[in-house]
Amino acid sequence: MKAVVLVGGFGTRLRPLTLSTPKQMLPVVDRSMLEHVIAGLGRHGIDEVVLSLGYREDVFRNAYPDARCSGVRLEYAVEPEPLDTAGAVNFAARAVGIDETFVVVNGDVFTDLDVGQLWQRHREVGAEATIALTPVDDPSRYGVVPTDEDGRVLGFIEKPSRADAPTNWINAGTYVLEPSVLERIDTGRRVSIERETFPALVSDNALWAVKSDAYWVDAGTPDTYLQVQLDLIDGMRGQPVDGIAASASIDPSATVEHSVVMDEAAIGPDAVVRDSVVLPGARVEARASVTGSVIGPRAVIGEGARISDMSMIGDDASVDAGSEVVASKIPQEV
Ligand code: GDD
Ligand code: MG
């Protein structure tokens, strides 16, 4: 099975971290987001991935110079300009000459859902496209997908208001597509698979869905980027993983609880880090505290400073000694 993995977005919700690093190349505990996603695909029988690239494609190429990632062979398709989700799928599939049934995934989704099962259902019903669905509490930031009892899709409503969402089952960002779907996508302009292609398939009764309540998180926002990492150390997806890198240095008087501390990061005397992620080379100085927040690579949190409530500190930023950062991004967006 071949999969196109969409990784060409700007990752705006994860700024400032994504100003230098594309979202899927941000570290999640011990590996990039992309490595986690591709390892999951590999476990479900995908042996070749086409990376659909745009924003900062150089970062991906430099990280995987031998075109292998988590044991899976990579091909690269670089868009000359962002073509949106359907435009990107079309561009990537044509670039590598896909002419058989294939898989598409959003590159920021952490999930244990079974692509093989999705593929099988796709065959059984003779669908043109089949998408995985997952239940969420607030469907308004996703593609909302009502179906009939057999799984035929009755509508596709991208990011409706909460009141207008007819169901809590949403597009999980994993699709099985026939190559004929590509013929429905105009070339040379931006086309959204969620706003154009799926609604057109619904009108033709050609879109099917499979519901799954397997583990599923879209890691594209600050709180979910934090959550996928705490879930890994909590053992929500198998054996708990160790969140503290071997090369991190933690002063014996510091308190580090329920957190990830990455390579070469340093936590100083009497500092406190709780429910947080500290990226490589960052420093939390003496008596500073970090709670429910993300500290970017090489950032410095000065002595006694307090960072809390889903704050995000960007690459190389410094927070003055004694200052307080609550529910904020540093640097602030301009
Ligand atoms: N190559 C390329 N070109 N990739 C793109 C482009 C583009 O122009 N635009 C977005 N992407 C990539 C992003 O990098 C990401 O991996 C994926 O496409 C989805 O974009 P997001 O920006 O993460 O979308 P979302 O999370 O708001 O919504 C999507 O995912 C939800 C599930 O996680 C939609 O597919 C929703 O319907 C869905 O519920
Ligand atoms: Mg997303």
- Give the pLDDT of residue 51: 98
Ligand 1 nearest atom to the CA of residue 13, by list position: 22
SS3 47: coil
Convert the pLDDT of each residue in 276-296 to its tens digit: 999 999 999 999 999 999 999
Asked if 130 and 31 touch (Cβ cutoff 8 Å), the reply is no
**Ligand number nearest to the C-alpha of 159:** 1
User: How buried is 152 (Cβ within 10 angstroms: 0-12 exposed, 13-18 middle, 19+ buried)?
Assistant: middle
Q: What is the mean pLDDT of residues 215-240?
A: 97
Say if CB 177 and CB 70 are below 8 A apart: no
CA 220 – ligand 2 centroid, Å: 5
- Whether 333 has a pLDDT exceeding 90, the answer reads no
Percent of the chain topping pLDDT 90 = 98
Nearest ligand to the C-alpha atom of residue 37 = 1
Query: How far are the Cα atoms of 22, 118, 163, 321 from residue 59, in angstroms, in the given order?
Result: 8, 31, 40, 33
Ligand 1 atom with the shortest distance to the CA of 7: 14
User: Which protein residue's CA is at the shortest distance from atom 19 of ligand 1?
Assistant: 106
Give the DSSP per-residue string, 27-40.
EETTEEHHHHHHHH
Which protein residue's CA is at the shortest distance from atom 33 of ligand 1? Answer: 218
Residue 290 neighbours by CB distance under 10 Å: 29
How remote is the CA of residue 11 from the centroid of ligand 1, in Å?
A: 9
Nearest CA to ligand 1 atom 39: 142
pLDDT over 80 at 334, yes or no: no
Best of 24, 57, 106 for a ligand 1 pocket test (most atoms within 8 Å of beta carbon):
106
Separation in Å, CA 30 to CA 10, 55, 302, 309, 318 = 23, 23, 25, 24, 24
pLDDT tens, residue by residue, 251-262 = 999 999 999 999
> Is the pLDDT confidence value at 192 over 70?
yes
Instruction: Using the atom order of ligand 1, give the atom closest to the CA of residue 194.
Output: 37
Listed residue (95, 88, 48) closest to 70, CA to CA: 48
User: pLDDT value at position 188?
Assistant: 87
Average pLDDT, the chain: 97
Pairing of strands 109-111, 216-218: antiparallel
- Residue 63, classed as helix, strand or coil, is helix
Q: Which residues line ligand 1 (CB under 6 A)?
A: 6-9, 23, 52, 54, 79, 82-85, 88, 106-109, 142-143, 158, 170-171, 173, 194, 218, 220
- Domains of the chain are 2-220 (3.90.550.10), 249-330 (2.160.10.10)
Residue 85 has pLDDT above 90, yes or no: yes
pLDDT tens sequence across 105-154: 999 999 999 999 999 999 999 999 999 999 999 999 999 999 999 999 99
User: Which of 260, 275, 272, 327 is closest to 301 using CA atoms?
Assistant: 272
Q: List pLDDT tens digits, range 34-68.
A: 999 999 999 999 999 999 999 999 999 999 999 99
DSSP annotation of 305 reads: -
d(CA 174, CA 155): 17
Residues 17-36 pLDDT 10s = 999 999 999 999 999 999 99
Nearest-CA residue for atom 13 of ligand 1 = 9
State the sign of the Cα–Cα–Cα–Cα dihedral 33, 11, 326, 287: positive
- Distance CA(135)–CA(170), nearest Å, equals 6
- The sign of the torsion formed by the CA atoms of 27, 33, 38, 44 equals positive
Residue nearest to atom 25 of ligand 1 (CA): 142
Q: Rounded to 5 degrees, what are φ and ψ at 124?
A: -55, -45
196: Cβ–Cβ under 8 A, 6 or more apart, which residues?
Answer: 86
Structure tokens at 158: 């991208």
Cis upstream peptide for 16 (omega within 30°): yes
